Structure 1
């Protein structure tokens, strides 16, 4: 079983406009709403792949009820903790040139008693969990190093912990035992406090992170594919060109593909192929956290994974 944690979910609202002009009244030609947050995107794609994960985190207010209703509709297992605050709303505005502008609310405050309820519930959920995925930011009220606590719990219970976050949340967690992190180039630069100008720089900095007992550092490079570094090898993933509709949720989709492959005992190379196929399929569709299984099968065959010995 895969458990996916979204501490700070949202109602994601997508507006599709001809042009986006500040200070002017504009009418959206297409509007889509969905239960969102990075972890929920991961869970949704896992469900499309054929696995119904457990979904955990915090929800509150009318927005929280909407999210709980939406995830039940698509067959996800709702294990969210209810809180008093109102779950956030996040906006994504896309113009005719595919330029995306996101407006993200910070979210509600999680009280100490909410955190205690979550930890008690998590203890039971982890009895069924082989892979724990945690994605996104932490809401106000949770300690900055809370992802590090999850990493330590997973280490003790021998659960593979995949963490997809950035900034202070990632930096405070890397000392815990993590199976995989997935920074993009900007996030890797922030984590390593350096400039990364090319693939060689990225690999060099990833190697430095292995000393924190992170098993796999997976670096997302957009249209240039992906690089994964572990103590044994370097994997370079080359992807075909595609027509992009909406890149929001592509990173989450790639996490879902990797976790699904890992759960089903795929080779590491095939986990990476499925990961990239899912990320690409999401980018080819306007909906966030959506893949086309027929596209996945085709893309999987076109993705090349090269393995190099440790430098």
Structure 2
């Protein structure tokens, strides 16, 4: 079982339009609403892969009720903590060439009592969980140290933690030694305080995060593939993608693929790459099912191309 924690979940409404013209009235060709938030997406991908998952999250207002209902309809167990604020709604506008414009709401204010209720729910759900995946930004009211406290409590309960966040929250949590952290290239560059121009730069930055406390680093490099640096070695993986339809949730699908494949080593990286590549070819934030995966298109190697320039420097 994989438990996901999403402190700032959302309803994600996606519109697909022929083109985005500022100041014009646009007509969407596709309009869909999905459960949103990074941890929620991980749960959706885990469930699509055929594994049990529990989505732990704060829920408030009619938006929270709808979010929980959508998750249950997708076969996901929901451990909701009631809050006085309202769950946020995010908007994405997708164009045919893969360009995505996003408007993310700030999210509700979380009280001290609600914060403690979330942490206590993590502790109680840690028993029997293979992984606790803690993902996304923190809503108003939660200090940057909140994830560090979460990792500490999960470890005391005997659970392994995968963490996908950034900035001060990531740096604070590293001191509690999460088993896996999953930054993208920008987040990796921010964490070490310098730009990344090559895959070798990304490897050095990942090594530094391990020095700070992370036991493994799974880094998403966008079109440049993914890196894994853990106790078994350093690996690079990528997959050719014909058409990018939407990159919403692709990193979350990658993390789910990594965890369901054991969360360590080159085979887990290959699963992460396959899940991420499949996700970008699906509409909105749809998570890939096993039939969407193309493992034969994935290449992984321990011979990392350190001098290769990143197509999207961070």
Query: How would you bin the TM-score normalised by the shorter chain?
Result: over 0.9
Q: Does 1:211 align with 2:211?
A: yes
Check the 8 A contact 2:180/2:215 in 1, yes or no.
yes
Aligned partner of 1:91 in structure 2 is: 91
Against the structure 1 CA distance between its residues 120 and 241, is the aligned structure 2 distance closer, same or farther, given a 3 Å change threshold? closer
SS of corresponding position for 2:173: coil
What is the CA RMSD across the aligned residues, in angstroms?
Answer: 1.7
Task: Report the Cα distance in structure 1 between the residues aligned to 2:37 and 2:220, rounded to whole angstroms.
Answer: 19
Q: What runs of 5+ residues in structure 2 fail to find an aligned partner?
A: 307-314
TM-score normalized by structure 2?
Answer: 0.92
How many residues get paired? 305
Check the 8 A contact 1:238/1:303 in 2, yes or no.
yes
Task: Report the Cα distance in structure 1 between the residues aligned to 2:133 and 2:152, rounded to whole angstroms.
Answer: 14
Check the 8 A contact 1:210/1:231 in 2, yes or no.
no
Tell me the CA shift for residue 289 of structure 1: 3.7
Against the structure 1 CA distance between its residues 183 and 122, is the aligned structure 2 distance closer, same or farther, given a 3 Å change threshold? closer
Q: What runs of 5+ residues in structure 1 fail to find an aligned partner?
A: none
Aligned partner of 1:300 in structure 2 is: 295
Check the 8 A contact 1:155/1:177 in 2, yes or no.
no
Tell me the CA shift for residue 97 of structure 1: 2.5
Tell me the CA shift for residue 167 of structure 1: 2.0
Counting only pairs closer than 5 Å after superposition, residues 47-58 of structure 1 correspond to structure 2 as: 47-58=47-58
Check the 8 A contact 2:91/2:102 in 1, yes or no.
yes
Q: Deviations over 1:110-164 (max 9, x none)?
A: 1112122223332221112220001110111112111111222233333211011
Q: Does 1:251 align with 2:251?
A: yes
Q: Does 1:33 align with 2:33?
A: yes
Aligned partner of 1:143 in structure 2 is: 143
Q: Deviation above 3 Å: which 4+ runs of structure 1?
A: none
TM-score normalized by structure 1?
Answer: 0.93
Tell me the CA shift for residue 257 of structure 1: 0.6
